[in-house]
Amino acid sequence: MTTVKEQKTIQDQFKARMNEDELLNCMRCGFCLPACPTYIESGFKESHSPRGRIAMMKAVVDGLIEPDEDFERSLDLCLSCRACEAVCPSGVKYGELLEEARDIISQNKKYSLPTRIVRKAVFEGLFPHPNRMKNLTGLIGFYQRSGIQTIARKIGFLGLLPDSLTAMEKVLPKVATLKQLKNRPDYLPAIGEQTKRVAFFSGCLMDSMFLETNDATMKLLQLAGCEIVIPQTQTCCGALHGHYGEKTSSKDLAIRNIKAFEDLNVDFIITNAGGCGAFLVEYGHLFQDDPEWNDRAHAFSNKIQDISEILVAVKFHEKVRLELPFQIITYQDSCHLKNVMKTASAPRTLLKAIKGTEYREMYDADRCCGSAGIYNIIESENSMKMLDYKMVQTKNTQASTVVTANPGCLLQMKLGIEREGLASTMRGIHIVDLLLEAVKN
């Protein structure tokens, strides 16, 4: 509950801080409605559509409505998948409006104690600290390897956790050991003729829980002729903080990253997680009112590229023979990779280049899978509805391999496979892992 007094401050802050030009820029054409998963899932409720959310934000600014529970609920339910932005003729920067609105609400509202603790733990305690991430990963690894996992599963300990977490636990990847985590390279030479010099953004989650995927990414880059530098002072991209109204922390993280990647003299900074990449390409915006950091942030953002883009650009798929035993492959777009980084055809080009396999496009491949940061944990019910729809489309392709390009989506798709009882016939895999498999083959 937000008290009346809190509502009043939130309203004042809306007046002071929301970008009115951008709110007015929405011409209410409704073109974004069919692209919005929450609009469709809600049974066509305008209040759960982008046009509705923008209208509500504007109405709060205009004093027509209070930032009441209905309003907050509507914003909470938004996946920030940004599919609405990709189709908007007016180019309304919905993502920016949403982040600002969420920031205003979270800064001016007292959350309940448990929520406060979780938020603090996640946003301040964990993500900004690569070492703690590694330790957590170590802990999960210990849990998995020690046999506790098996026992816990047997005695139903997990039944005590909320459903969403229980389900999540099943699909967590086999994580690396602490030792593996500590010996990370900071430089790798190109294999063969050098094409580019790049930096690798290893990401906090990617470099702890998805270590193998990061290794695969670097291997592919090397094979593509890239010399790679991996600055050790880099940190979490700050996307989660940004999306959940913790703007200040996300800026701190951004500054650390900008510093870490400056002066490396590289052509590109490569990411392999759509969610992070999308936030990194928007650092420029994050510092738009900050003359000290603005240029540096833009310079950083301009270099961000997804791994699949650079692989296609250097014609990796034509130069290296990619082959796998017969399987039907389908691809689930990462919303942020597609809608913000505008990378959609490169991954498909790469997948189609794998000999011996068949690529089948799934219907609505670019509809959000419901993962959306930590949405699948905090809005579990809705998230599972989105996932169910996604699984219907996935099954229709008869694919045995579902490819994604973002860790959140990957976990979600694995969860979908698990929920459908398809684990024996279908697998979820990150695109770079599949490509490396195809190289080795």
59 binds another protein (CB under 8 A): yes
- As a whole number of Å, the end-to-end CA separation of the chain is 56
Helix ranges (DSSP H) in 50-129: 50-62, 69-77, 83-87, 94-107, 113-120
Quick one: how far is CA 429 from the chain centroid?
15
Residue whose entry in the numeric block shows the structure tokens 């802050």: 13
Answer whether 10's CB lies under 8 Å from 109's CB: yes
Residue whose entry in the numeric block shows the structure tokens 């509705």: 52
Instruction: Give the shortest CB-151-to-ligand SF4 separation in angstroms.
Output: 40
Residue 226's DSSP bridge partners are 196
* Residue 151 interacts with which of ligand SF4, another protein, none, CB < 5 to 8 Å by class: none
How many CB atoms lie under 10 A from the CB of residue 110? 11
Mark residues 4-43: x for contact with ligand SF4 by CB under 6 A, - for none: ----------------------xxxxxxx--xxxx-----
Q: Which of 38, 41, 42, 55 binds another protein (CB under 8 A)?
A: 55
84 binds ligand SF4 (CB under 6 A): yes
Based on CB atoms, which residue is closest to ligand SF4, 81 or 175? 81
* Residue 178 interacts with which of ligand SF4, another protein, none, CB < 5 to 8 Å by class: none
Mark residues 215-254: x for contact with ligand SF4 by CB under 6 A, - for none: ----------------------------------------
Identity of the residue numbered 7: Q
Interaction residues for another protein, span 73-132 (CB under 8 A): 74, 89-91
Based on CB atoms, which residue is closest to ligand SF4, 80 or 149? 80
Give the closest residue to 366 by CA, choosing from 384, 342, 397, 396: 342
* Residue 139 interacts with which of another protein, ligand SF4, none, CB < 5 to 8 Å by class: none
Based on CB atoms, which residue is closest to ligand SF4, 25 or 294? 25
In three-state secondary structure terms, 328 is strand
* Residue 71 interacts with which of ligand SF4, another protein, none, CB < 5 to 8 Å by class: another protein
At 377, list the tokens. 């944990």
Q: How many helices (H) and strands (E) does the chain have?
A: 26, 9
Cα dihedral angle (344, 337, 58, 245), rounded to 10 degrees?
170
Instruction: Give the shortest CB-53-to-ligand SF4 separation in angstroms.
Output: 6
* Residue 43 interacts with which of another protein, ligand SF4, none, CB < 5 to 8 Å by class: another protein
At 87, list the tokens. 């189709």
Count of residues interacting with ligand SF4 (CB under 6 A): 26
What is d(CA 150, CA 144) in angstroms, rounded to the nearest whole number? 8
* Residue 82 interacts with which of ligand SF4, another protein, none, CB < 5 to 8 Å by class: ligand SF4
Q: Which of 18, 88, 255, 310 binds ligand SF4 (CB under 6 A)?
A: 88
65 binds another protein (CB under 8 A): yes
H helix or E strand, kind and range, residue 239: helix 239-243
H helix or E strand, kind and range, residue 279: helix 274-280
Q: Between 163-171 and 407-419, two packed helices, what is the crossing angle to 10 degrees? A: 100
In three-state secondary structure terms, 191 is coil
Instruction: Give the shortest CB-87-to-ligand SF4 separation in angstroms.
Output: 6
What is d(CA 213, CA 207) in angstroms, rounded to the nearest whole number? 8
Instruction: Give the shortest CB-167-to-ligand SF4 separation in angstroms.
Output: 22
Instruction: Give the shortest CB-338-to-ligand SF4 separation in angstroms.
Output: 12
Answer whether 220's CB lies under 8 Å from 435's CB: yes
Based on CB atoms, which residue is closest to ligand SF4, 317 or 390? 390
Mark residues 43-82: x for contact with ligand SF4 by CB under 6 A, - for none: -------xx-xx-----------------------xxxxx
Which residues here bind ligand SF4, judged by CB under 6 A? Answer: 26-32, 35-38, 50-51, 53-54, 78-84, 88, 90, 92, 94
